[in-house]
Structure 1
Amino acid sequence: MHQHVTRLLATALILTAAACTTSGSDDKPAATTKTTSPAGKLSAAWTPKLKAATKTDTGICNQAGDQACAEHLTDIALVVDDLETAINGAGGAAAYPKTTAQIGKVNAAVEAYTEHECLGDENASIQGSPCPDDARTIMAGGEALQLALAADEAG
């Protein structure tokens, strides 16, 4: 159920971002696939995807309501959603407890960013707005997932 809600929220972010975009960009991460490495470890396949999705110019979300920020957050949310699907097919939370917990944090931040209507809000970055925290949680969560995957597979 939660994954379904997250997929809907990510789709809403994408549609909103697409509606506001006037030109395409070729520097977005490649489409993700739901595969595991030959050894059955997800980190080999998903660490590069997470790195690609989280790679960005410094300060892209200094203005949490900007289109560029929303597109970056959407890229992360989509990879995280696909990773969640891959984890469900590879033993779920029992096999990847740290990763699953981190995915929950990212999903909650995606929901919050959407509920707070951050995209296009000129006040999204003012003091007291929850939007910068939502954006930081999504970005940091994408980075932290790389470590969580490694920790789950090492332990």
Structure 2
Amino acid sequence: MTVSLSEAQSENKTLSAKLAANRTAATSVESTTSKVPSSAVKANGGIRMVGSAEAAQVAQAAQLKEDIYSDLTGLIIRSVKREAEEDVFDCIQTGRNGTLHFKLAAGNEKSADSYDDVQCSYIPQLDSSRDRALMELLPDYLEDEITFPRPQAANFYARVAKALTDKAA
């Protein structure tokens, strides 16, 4: 009974995180597509594509890609902040064992001479009261900041996903 209760609570957290991310995305897409300027309406009632409408379609397609990726992997990218030397992604990874909030900083084109030289930093956003149960399940290395070469990003992500999806012993 406690196992099913904790699984239900974990699923509730996951769905709440996804809902919050989707509401934010829907609001931004809705605000860019809700009003068609009168200059874009043709005399016969049709709508002609203008730069902002095309940009809205591109943004909507990008959001659809992000949504399906999130559905497939459980990774929600809440925001991206471009800085001088790196891009910082605010992420939530969901799984049967809980929800992990973290930031991932990836060096950009200005930070290294080649892709192999780019560094990534994992910065967990753990709260000891909110994430107590998760912290008991996480490997110790996911509770601290980690820096690794960008070519190792897939291996890093596989370990994060495994920690959140493998059945707890």
Task: Kindly indicate which of the two structures has a greater share of residues assigned to strand.
Answer: 2
Task: Kindly indicate which of the two structures has a greater share of residues assigned to helix.
Answer: 1
The answer to whether TM tops 0.5 is: no
TM-score, reference length from structure 1: 0.29
TM-score, reference length from structure 2: 0.28
Higher RCO (C-alpha 8 Å, min separation 6): 1
Question: Which has the larger Rg?
Answer: 2
